[in-house]
Amino acid sequence: MNKPLKQHLIDPEICIRCYTCEMTCPIQAITHDDMNVVVDADKCNFCMDCIPVCPTGSIDEWRVVETPYSLDEQFEWTELPEQAEISGGDDSTEALDEAMAALLAEAHAGAGGKSVAPASASKPSINLHTIGKPVTARVQGNYRLTAEGSDSDVRHIILDMAGAPFPVLEGQSIGIIPPGTDAEGKPHLPRLYSVSSPRDGERPGYANVSLTVKREPHGVGSNYVCDLSKGDEVQVTGPFGATFLLPDDPAARLLMICTGTGSAPFRAFTMRRQRMSAGAAGDMVLFFGARTPDSLPYFGPLKKVPDSLLKKHFAFSRVEGEEKQYVQDRMRAHEDEVAELLADPNTHIYVCGLRGMEAGVDEALANIAESIGLPWVTTRDAMRAEGRYHVETY
């Protein structure tokens, strides 16, 4: 009998196929086929570099096995196998567990942890269109959202799915395959973008979706997308994402915290609720950070959304003559409002945007929760387990 060993796996149900882990792995132990992103047990050395970069926590799966699952087996999975009973497990399994727990605690410092979908969320479709069989969508529009001359070029892109079945829920993402090949001559991997339109389309009843994309210097995907013209054809994969979803329960209250283009899913959430006329005053609160008002995506339209539907708090970090403000500073400035939400079992928290914001936001939430006697780590972990705490940062 083989000695039990720990195998690193990826949950295919939760993975959003952003390939960040594959691009991060220093020893090419992570690979993919048309369906799944998987870890090669022969190569993985548990360096943990891939753990904190995963936006969903789908990377954080481990099984004790006697014979490791092969790549081919993992490529076939639509869900992870349960932990099989291990006969003859010995002390080494326990030691492995302890070592793994210590490594994970370190890898997870500041990261969001594994997410669970809200209990009342609709069931998402995932991975309907793969790298091998993408949908050819057509660009319906490409509009600059940020002021001309501002250092940030953020675009609102509308794609027509040309009648292909492409059901998306608010909070899900889609992949766009840039044409051409990478430095090694391989076709580019899809780049993942959060959908910023609601489930019934950017325009209700039309099979179209919108994206919010910022041009990054030298970014293969973002420059391709930001330069698209009306009528261009685009290869699209997805949809992806099974946890960062909007509760369908109209009584659910939303505390949304974002930076920059991380606002995309919250635009979708807000439009969905606007169209459903769900919720009452104070049920949606948004903390939104950007460098300047000029570079905050959808600043004009957002200001017009009534406070009774969406309470907005903007944090600007680079306004001349003003103190640098981050979302966590605005949260502290409005701690009573945040505390009241934290104390309500109907509240769902969503954090989306820069990876760097996670630690600061977590600390602000901890201070506010503890000011009303809520132990933060226990509260947050319970909220996460109940599908009420979601972090998606890149």
User: Which of the residues are catalytic?
Assistant: 193-194, 352, 392, 394
> Applying CB under 6 A, which part among 60-68, 70-78, 289-297, 339-347 lies near ligand NAP?
289-297
Per-residue binder mask for ligand NAP (CB under 6 A), 50-89, x = binder: -----x----------------------------------
Site for ligand NAP in 361-390 (CB under 6 A): none
> Applying CB under 6 A, which part among 19-27, 39-47, 69-77, 286-294 lies near ligand NAP?
286-294
* Residue closer to ligand NAP (CB basis): 74 or 270: 270
Residue nearest to ligand NAP (CB): 260
Closest distance of CB 154 from ligand NAP, Å: 7
Asked if 144 and 214 count as a contact pair (C-beta separation under 8 A), the reply is no
Task: With CB under 6 A as the rule, give the number of residues binding ligand NAP.
Answer: 25
Site for ligand NAP in 135-164 (CB under 6 A): 152
Task: Rounding to the nearest 10 degrees, give the CA dihedral for residues 350, 355, 357, 362.
Answer: 60
Q: Using the rule CB under 6 A, which residue among 261, 271, 286, 305 binds ligand NAP?
A: 261
Give SS3 for 218. coil
Site for ligand NAP in 86-115 (CB under 6 A): none
Angle between helices 376-385 and 357-371 (to 10 degrees): 110
Give SS3 for 83. coil
> Applying CB under 6 A, which part among 26-34, 248-256, 352-360, 374-382 lies near ligand NAP?
352-360
Q: Which of 276, 301, 272, 279 is nearest to 288 (CA)?
A: 301
> What is the rounded CA–CA span in Å between residue 281 and residue 288?
19
* Residue closer to ligand NAP (CB basis): 283 or 392: 392
Concatenate the DSSP letters of all residues of 330-391 into one string: HHHHTHHHHHHHHT-TTEEEEEEE-TTHHHHHHHHHHHHHHHTT--HHHHHHHHHHTT-EEE
Closest distance of CB 157 from ligand NAP, Å: 13
291 touches ligand NAP (CB under 6 A)? yes
Per-residue binder mask for ligand NAP (CB under 6 A), 323-342, x = binder: ---xx---------------
* Residue closer to ligand NAP (CB basis): 55 or 247: 55
Closest distance of CB 171 from ligand NAP, Å: 8
Q: Using the rule CB under 6 A, which residue among 116, 161, 264, 278 binds ligand NAP?
A: 264
> What is the rounded CA–CA span in Å between residue 118 and residue 90?
38
Element (H, E) at 95: helix 91-107
Site for ligand NAP in 178-207 (CB under 6 A): 194
Angle between helices 335-342 and 357-371 (to 10 degrees): 80
Q: Which of 263, 118, 272, 243 is nearest to 172 (CA)?
A: 243
> What is the rounded CA–CA span in Å between residue 261 and residue 326?
15
Give the list of residues 6+ apart from residue 326 with CB closer than 8 angstroms, or none.
289, 315, 317, 357, 360
> What is the rounded CA–CA span in Å between residue 309 and residue 347?
15
Q: Using the rule CB under 6 A, which residue among 353, 365, 384, 387 binds ligand NAP?
A: 353
176 touches ligand NAP (CB under 6 A)? no
* Residue closer to ligand NAP (CB basis): 4 or 238: 238
Element (H, E) at 239: strand 233-240
393 touches ligand NAP (CB under 6 A)? yes
Element (H, E) at 106: helix 91-107
Interaction site with ligand NAP (CB under 6 A): 55, 152, 194, 214, 259-262, 264, 289-291, 317-318, 326-327, 352-354, 356-357, 360, 392-394
